């Protein structure tokens, strides 16, 4: 008995140690970037900063926020994240609700065609030509329309919608509600866990996406912050970044500006998680209706 208890304690300590190591390996790179961005630029080039800033300085962040290009890019990113996430979630959920109705004509065909698109696509060049013909290049809407629907997210919505008691829809129809009213007033409110999950996934995608800004947008006033950061990283090997991109004092280097920009670009989306985490709970509908 004592041997068994010792073995269980050993495995408990071992599991705790493994989890601590995983947490450290996950969080330390973020901490390393943060403390180096808070250190004076020229001093940080000497290296040896691992736990705390050696010469504390906010000059890099001052430089970043004085850059009009970055603030414009930040505004574009916020706008496309909020608007793009709302349109994506609403449109995808609406299509998923329609396809989840078993009486829909051609429902199986739609599912087969949609599944094929998950494995095969036309590629970058056909998509570029399509967006060009639609007049979306060098416009804000190039961030919104191509990403407004995802068949993978549709499958997630459909799986959740099938668990909703059909009696809720019947009760709404008896009160005179049409299909759209049922979707907006009944289905969406009781589907907040999956809505929050898809919103978080797509919001993170919209916030982190730099590829669309590189490929489809040439106007610097329409480029998101991740594309702005990409260009800083691309120029980080050259000292010209200090004068041409930021125009800063000698205490700031291209590396320190790059790290500060990374922190500024990352923190907002990190702060969103606590507000959506409360929805990631199963059993949200328990007790909503009694058959």
Considering the entire predicted model, what is its pTM?
Answer: 0.76
Tell whether the model's pLDDT for residue 130 goes beyond 80: yes
- pLDDT tens per residue, range 191-202: 888 888 888 889
For residue 133, what pLDDT band results from cuts at 50, 70 and 90?
A: very high
- 201: nearest Cα among 85, 285, 79: 85
Chain position carrying tokens 């990409």: 230
What token pair was written down for 101?
């109705």
Comparing 18-32, 76-90, 243-257, 260-274, which segment has the lowest mean pLDDT? 243-257
Higher pLDDT, 100 or 253: 100
Residue 227 · residue 213 · CB < 8 Å: yes
- pLDDT tens per residue, range 48-61: 888 888 888 888 88
Q: Which residues of 160-170 are buried (b: 16+ CB within 10 A; e: fewer)?
A: bbeebeeebbe
For residue 76, what pLDDT band results from cuts at 50, 70 and 90?
A: very high
Predicted confidence at residue 240, as pLDDT, reads: 40
Alpha helix segments (H runs only) across the chain: 2-37, 41-44, 59-66, 68-99, 107-119, 124-133, 151-161, 166-174, 179-182, 188-190, 192-208, 211-215, 225-234, 240, 254-276
Predicted confidence at residue 279, as pLDDT, reads: 61
For residue 282, what pLDDT band results from cuts at 50, 70 and 90?
A: very low
């Amino acid at each position: 008995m004592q041997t068994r208890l010792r073995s269980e304690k050993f495995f408990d300590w071992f599991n705790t140690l493994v989890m601590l190591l995983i947490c450290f390996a996950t969080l330390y790179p973020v901490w390393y970037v943060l403390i180096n961005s808070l250190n004076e630029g020229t001093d940080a080039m000497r290296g040896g900063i691992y736990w705390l800033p050696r010469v504390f300085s906010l000059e890099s962040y001052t430089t970043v926020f004085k850059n009009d290009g970055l603030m414009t890019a930040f505004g574009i990113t916020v706008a496309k994240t909020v608007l793009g996430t709302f349109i994506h979630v609403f449109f995808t959920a609406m299509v998923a609700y329609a396809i989840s109705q078993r009486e829909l004509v051609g429902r199986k065909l739609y599912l087969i065609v949609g599944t094929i698109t998950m494995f095969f696509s036309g590629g970058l060049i056909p998509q570029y030509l399509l967006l060009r013909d639609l007049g979306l290049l060098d416009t804000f809407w190039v961030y919104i329309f191509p990403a407004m629907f995802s068949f993978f997210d549709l499958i997630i919505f459909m799986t959740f919608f099938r668990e909703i008691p059909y009696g809720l829809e019947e009760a709404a129809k008896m009160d005179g509600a049409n299909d759209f009213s049922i979707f907006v007033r009944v289905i969406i409110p009781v589907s907040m866990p999956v809505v929050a999950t898809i919103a978080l996934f797509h919001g993170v995608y919209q916030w982190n996406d730099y590829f669309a800004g590189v490929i489809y947008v040439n106007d610097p006033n329409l480029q998101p912050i991740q594309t702005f950061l990409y260009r800083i990283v691309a120029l980080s090997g050259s000292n010209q970044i200090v004068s041409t991109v930021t125009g800063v004092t000698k205490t700031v280097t291209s590396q320190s500006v790059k790290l500060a920009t990374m922190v500024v670009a990352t923190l907002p989306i990190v702060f969103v998680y606590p507000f959506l985490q409360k929805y990631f709970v199963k059993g949200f509908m328990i007790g909503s209706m009694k058959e």
